[in-house]
Structure 1
Amino acid sequence: MSELRYVYAVCGALEAPLAADLSGVGGAAPRLLRHAGLTAVVGHVPAEEFSETALRRNLENLDWLADTARAHQAVIAALASVTSPLPLRLATVFRDDSGVRAMLETEQERFRTSLERIRDRVEWGVKVFVEDQPKESPAPADSGTGPRERISAQALGAGSGRDYLRRRRAEREGRDQIWRKAETFAQELHDRLAERSVETRVHPPQNPELAKTSGRNVLNGAYLVPRAESEAFVELVDATKDEQPGLRVELTGPWAAYSFSTPPEEREDPAEPTAGGAS
């Protein structure tokens, strides 16, 4: 069975060895391939799973995709503990070592520029959610049977209808007010975090069903922060968590600089949207 080369990341002149027990995609231990002053972190994977045709099929298999993503992330996380790796896209595959060297040769200028941008920096993720509001129980139906009861029921029904519409209008206005406050809070938080960051990105809001989380996502931000200033960044986020009732602030990281691996001028979203307005 032939093997292909799976490339996890590119680093500078990495001297630290990888952990002996580190395993990557397909259970294979990654190794270092050096060329042009750069280091590619490479694993051997079977062609029957990672050839162009097989990848098209496997990338639609959610279980396979989740297993591959976890193994990929495990290697990147191990690298991030000893250096500032430049993560490559999931399932970046070459035919052999020569293909990897050719990639390093061709892309060396871009890689060096990106590695300099993320050197000694990590990515933190900050999300703001509007907590789900409890739903009001429907009003009980009328049950009058006699003539007087029917007249009273009609009058009560008219009053109840007006009350119901007033309640619905008040609920809508309340939700609109909560949403406006959430957008204002998210934008102000993003601005404060941006002051502590070298670079920021605002990703589209998370789909709650896909993310399997509660609440409506109003900020999904990524922040590139110097390692030495990460503690202050985390403290700033923690200090905001109870500022607004009904809102939830989540912090994740530190990660390798996934959101910043591509130079700003090469991104599909160079004009970054404001918090709350991402789409």
Structure 2
Amino acid sequence: MGNLIYLYGLTPTTEMEKRALPSITGFDGKSSLYTLPIGETTAIVCELSEEEYNAKNIENKVNNDMEWLQEKAFHHHETITSLHQQYTFIPLKFCTIYEDPENLQATISASEEQLSQSFKTLHANEEWTLKIYCKEQKLRDAIKKSHPALEKKKEEIAKLPRGRQFFEKKKMDSIVDKQLEQEKDLFGEILHEELKSIATNYTVKKNWDKDMTGLKEDMVWNSAYLVAKEKVEVFKDKILTFEEQQADTTWRIEATGPWPAYHFSDFSQGEEKQYANNS
């Protein structure tokens, strides 16, 4: 059996000619990263044994070996981050694997114009992410104390027989639940409206659950922005000002970057199919 090609990402060939690839260990922990120049684009790759890293084996590892998955995902992330810090870099998804160099070359050659435009965009911009977390119980308590409809409902319930009070209190809980979801959505949307006017591009993503974040607070907003380098300080200041205006420990705003541009590279998004997608 031959070797597969693990693709980490792509960079302009002109940049690679000016700055040599650093010594980085490959996905299997034994090989080293190397470059494949393909016209104006250079692919940064490593070789993998087809016997060990074919699609069936990787799928089995991903589904059944959490320790392996965490180790390899960490390696991929750290490698991508390191390369992003040195080059204008289009990152590829975890386990983007090609059967051989010819397949990879054909894919890149067919996307030459698209890649050229992506490099220009990424060279002038940075990717930043925004995540907002909420202490739900604290927000729930605040709603119970201040919501006008609840105050009126409390007065009505106090005048009812005990048997009726139980059911009416359930209705009151429903009002709280509805208001809670509205306020969680609204908080993120208000800040997002300000940030998207600064950004070159943006995307709103699905919130992560607590199993993914490992946090006690609920994630209530998750978005990414492509920001022109000259506007990054304005972008960060806008978030800081918004945070200071809240003066409230119910919310936690987490803005981080710059990150490898996973969300704003057409080629990267087009290669989302993972686990030996070309073998």
Same fold (TM over 0.5): yes
- State how 1:72-91 maps to structure 2 within 5 Å: 72-91=76-95
Structure 1 position 89, deviation (Å): 2.0
1:172-226 Cα offsets, whole Å, 9 max, x none, are 4344334323322211111111111110001112122233223333221010112
Highest RCO, 1 vs 2 (Cα 8 Å, sep ≥ 6): 2
Q: Secondary structure in 1 aligned to 2:69?
A: helix
User: Which of 131, 142, 158 in structure 2 is aligned with 1:127?
Assistant: 131
Bigger-Rg structure (1/2): 1
- How far, CA to CA, are the matches of 2:181 and 2:101 in structure 1? 53
- Return the TM-score normalized by structure 1: 0.76
CA contact (8 A) 1:24 1:72 kept: no
CA contact (8 A) 2:115 2:267 kept: no
Sort the Cα spacing of 1:3 and 1:267 in 2 relative to 1 into closer, same or farther, 3 A: closer
- How far, CA to CA, are the matches of 1:11 and 1:130 in structure 2? 39
CA contact (8 A) 1:49 1:58 kept: no
* Greater Cα offset, 189-198 or 101-110: 101-110
Which residue of the partner structure matches residue 9 of structure 1?
A: 9
1:113-163 Cα offsets, whole Å, 9 max, x none, are 322332232211101223130699xxxxxxxxxxxxxxxxxxxxx976666
Unaligned runs of 5+ in 2: 142-159, 273-279
Sort the Cα spacing of 1:218 and 1:56 in 2 relative to 1 into closer, same or farther, 3 A: same
- How far, CA to CA, are the matches of 1:262 and 1:215 in structure 2? 33
Q: Would you say how many aligned residue pairs link Structure 1 and Structure 2?
A: 246
Unaligned runs of 5+ in 1: 137-157, 269-279
Which residue of the partner structure matches residue 180 of structure 1?
A: 182
- How far, CA to CA, are the matches of 2:44 and 2:237 in structure 1? 33
Output the amino acid matched with 2:186: T
Cα root mean square deviation, aligned: 3.0
**1:70 correspondence with 2:78:** no
Structure 1 position 31, deviation (Å): 1.4
- State how 1:1-279 maps to structure 2 within 5 Å: 2-13=2-13, 14-15=15-16, 16-20=19-23, 22-27=24-29, 28-61=31-64, 62-133=66-137, 168-244=170-246, 245=248, 246-262=250-266
CA contact (8 A) 1:130 1:248 kept: yes
Indicate the percent of aligned positions where both proteins have the same amino acid: 24
Instruction: Give the helix-richer structure, 1 or 2.
Output: 2
Structure 1 position 108, deviation (Å): 1.8
- Return the TM-score normalized by structure 2: 0.76
